[in-house]
Structure 1
Amino acid sequence: MPALKALFTLLMALATTLPVRAAAAELALPGYQRSDGAITTYFGGDSIDPYFAAKALLAAQDAGMATTTAAGKWIAWQLPRQHGDGRFDRYCLTGQHFAACQAADADDALMAAWMELLVRTAPAKGMPPAWQASFDKAARYLDTLRDRRTGVYQISSTLPVALLMDNVEVSSAFKAVSAYRQRLGDSSGAAAWARQAEQLDQAILRVFWRKGGFLVSTQPRERSEFYPDAVAQIFPILADIQPPGHPHASAYQAWMTTHRFAWLQMTEVDFPWGLVALVADKMGDADAITCWRVRSNQFRHGHHWNVLEEALFLAFEARLTPAQALAPPPASLRCR
């Protein structure tokens, strides 16, 4: 008993002296998320791309923000707009309401992002029935896009081309579903989804990995551009897809040596590619994130800025004090 009492006293002392981990900041998207839950692609925009909305929420979560409120409102808005076969549309503002105006781009990536968002936003007891039904429809439709010969997923039923980055997102979704099933105590279900992810990862490497670099598409490309060619080389890091003999750290360092300044200048001429900053975050490169955040700040809500960039900017800024957020980068940082 004396020993037990001493242990209890020690644990109580530790509980009162150890630092308490701060709760994650909750994502809010003023100017992008409307009161009804809809998330526009651009600031105060008149169009909605469901892929960018889901991707923004997932990326913010990856960068450490809580997204329960924003994601819950978006899911509630999107659920009744899902087609019976699992697909979604893009939407345009007509009067005061958004109406379907165009088929969504890249069904494979969108189905994957939607499935991942549902399982990562689900309450501890599991997805509500309406969410589960939506997930099942998306999963069934995604399965129709799998090329049985190669094992990778194609863009859509009308565009039978496989893209590296889309398949990485499908892999990420499968891994998230596996983790979700494990969280619910369904070990066999978790193992089944993990096997799907592993099989897809192997197929991705067979189809896209060539001589020390990734192809971006099964369709030949005439010239190489920053997007998708350069961005795609480190995108697999986000889903932990690693070619044999090419560790993530080496691949990331080589990419930054070659493309760092081009990437940081992209905000001025093209999209800011905040997903590269998310890779930097995964690799522990705080300097790259600082440079991206400081250089991008002046372009927020502009022509080259969408909700995905905004979500990542807010996630990285949430880690800072107000003074740190306003401070220029140290002179030792090479941000130009």
Structure 2
Amino acid sequence: MKEALLALLLMIAALAHQPADAAELSLSGYQRADGAITTYFEGDSIDPYFAAKALLAAQDAGVKTGTAASRWIAWLLPRQHADGRFDRYCMKGQRFVSCQIADADDALMAAWMELLVRTAPPQGMPPAWQASFDKASQHLDTLRNPATGVYHISNTLPVALLMDNVEVSSAFKATSDYRRRLGDTAGAAAWGRKAEQLDKDILRVFWRAGSGYLVSTQPRETFEFYPDAVAQIFPILADIRPASRPHAAAYRIWMKENRMAWLQMSEVDFPWGLVALVADKMGDKDAIACWRMRSIQFRHGKHWNVLEEALYLAFEARLTPEQALAPPAAGLRCR
């Protein structure tokens, strides 16, 4: 009873921290009555990374996530290992049980830390959230390569990925903002310095002038849309860029080279809504409209997960019912 009351109070507090004029995210078919968020529509598996990333992306796209995030946090928090890690979960009987280790500890720790600080009520994280944040942060520290400054996938996979490190940077920046909201100037500055140093390390390790970003510290023999193409604009989401490469120029070049391939991804692979989130940050409404129009027929299918759903709902929430049903605007190039 106490746990249920605490979860309710936290949910109310989180809602009070959200913009009043934003829509509220409802992940129907993905978030269960107990707060768990499945990776696929009415699915039987849970990957905590995708749940956290979906909530963060939806918030970035302008919808309120207080209720959904607080319910998810209440479900996942007691499942955290003592060392800060989380597992992936599968349905067994009528309950979810641990069935796999996380795909990438660095990205998951970062997403969880960022979700906690961005969902926290105005007075700060409750003690249980803070303890969970601290454990995740401490585990993330064990993944940092002191020689390069970037973070490894896990303690058993000593490989650094560009996109994972961008997410770590994003978590540090969000934590700095959180400490600043609480009036902790020194704490905000400390987390800000961590983010600034990581951004420098990311550029030193992964950026190659003339050829773009390396995706991994491990050599790759083939080029694939994900991760190779997606990674080239992913740093925009955390405002990371080489001095010689303004975001607008990088985005324009990427869209010129990859727009058609991206919009056709939903037919053979995931639609990569994160690219639409980059488009949103760059103010490219046409790209978002095309993504939504091309992807809708594949919604809830095998190439559609909770991250795509959260972004789809966030973009849809901006439309009036008439706009949602209207045909594409004249001159909109989606093929």
**TM-score of the superposed pair, with normalisation by structure 2:** 0.94
Shift of 1:95: 1.2
Among 91, 109, 114, the residue aligned to 1:93:
91
SS at match of 2:88: strand
Moved more, 207-216 or 258-267: 207-216
Aligned length: 316
The SS at the match of 2:158 is strand
- How far apart are residue 327 of structure 1 and its match? 1.2
Map of 2:110 onto structure 1: 112
The match for 1:141 is: 139
Opposite residue 296 of structure 1, the aligned amino acid is S
Aligned to 1:221: 220
Query: Once the 2 structures are TM-superposed, how far is the Cα of residue 96 of structure 1 from its aligned partner?
Result: 1.1
- 1:8 is matched with none
Counterpart position of 2:330: 331
Matched residue, 1:279:
278
How far off is 1:22 after superposition? Answer: 6.5
Distance 1:248 1:262, change over 3 A: same
AA in 1 matched with 2:285? A
Structure 2: gaps (5+ residues): 1-18
The separation in 1 between residues aligned to 2:324 and 2:313, in whole angstroms, is 11
Q: 1:44 deviation in Å?
A: 0.3
Give the drift of 1:211: 2.2
Select 2:189's aligned residue among 188, 191, 212: 191
Look up the match of 2:13. Answer: none
Aligned counterpart, 1:6:
none
Cα deviation digits, residues 229-249 of structure 1 (max 9, x gap)? 000000000000011110000
Aligned partner of 2:68 in structure 1 is: 70
Render the CA deviation track for 1:250-282: whole Å, top value 9, x for unaligned. Answer: 000000000000000000000000000000000
The equivalent of 1:122 in structure 2 is 120
Match of 1:177 in 2: 175
Matched, 1:291 2:290: yes
Q: Is the 8 A contact 1:91 1:102 kept in 2?
A: yes
Are 2:238 and 1:239 equivalent residues in the alignment?
yes
Measured in 1, the distance between the counterparts of 2:69 and 2:328 equals 32
Deviation string 1:5-51 (CA, Å, 9 cap, x unpaired) is xxxxxxxxxxxxxxxx9610000000000000000000000000000
Q: Distance in 1 between matches of 2:133 and 2:159?
A: 24
Q: Which runs of 5+ in 1 are unaligned?
A: 1-20
Partner of 1:291, secondary structure, is helix
CA-CA distance at 1:224 after TM superposition: 1.0
Equivalent residue, structure 1, for 2:11: none
1:99 alignment partner AA: V
Partner of 1:53: 51
Q: Is the 8 A contact 1:88 1:103 kept in 2?
A: yes
Query: Which one of 170, 185, 201 corresponds to residue 199 of structure 2?
Result: 201
State whether structure 2 residue 137 is matched by structure 1 residue 157. no
| Cα distance in 2 for residues equivalent to 1:138 and 1:328 | 46
CA-CA distance at 1:328 after TM superposition: 1.8
C-alpha distance in 2, partners of 1:329/1:253? 22
Identity over the aligned pairs, expressed in percent? 80
Tell me by how many angstroms 1:329 deviates.
Answer: 1.1
| Matched position secondary structure for 1:319 | coil
* 1:41-69: CA deviation from partner (whole Å, max 9, x where unpaired): 00000000000000000000000000000
1:251 partner amino acid: A
**Distance in 2, Cα, partners of 1:22 & 1:80:** 30
* One-letter identity of the residue aligned with 1:138: A
Q: Distance in 2 between matches of 1:244 and 1:215?
A: 17
Letter aligned with residue 322 of structure 2: A
Q: Matched residue of 1:154: which SS?
A: coil
* C-alpha distance in 1 between matches for 2:118 and 2:22: 15
Q: Residue 294 of structure 1 contacts residue 328 of structure 1 at CA under 8 Å; is this kept in 2?
A: no
Query: 2-side partners of 1:281 and 1:217: how far apart?
Result: 26
CA RMSD of aligned residues (A): 0.8
SS at match of 1:116: helix
For 1:306, give the aligned amino acid: N
SS in 2 for 1:159: coil
- Tell me the secondary structure at the aligned position of residue 150 of structure 1: coil
Aligned-partner Cα distance in 2 for 1:281–1:50: 25
Find the counterpart in structure 1 of residue 256 from structure 2: 257
Aligned letter for 2:49? Answer: Y
Q: Within 2, Cα distance between the matches of 1:100 and 1:47?
A: 10
Q: Please give the secondary structure, in 2, of the residue aligned with 1:162.
A: coil
How far off is 1:331 after superposition?
A: 2.8
Q: Deviations over 1:213-240 (max 9, x none)?
A: 0000000000111000000000000000
Q: 1:7 — aligned with what?
A: none
Counterpart of 1:131, as a letter, is W
2:29 equivalent to 1:31: yes
How far apart, in 2, do the equivalents of 1:95 and 1:300 lie?
A: 27
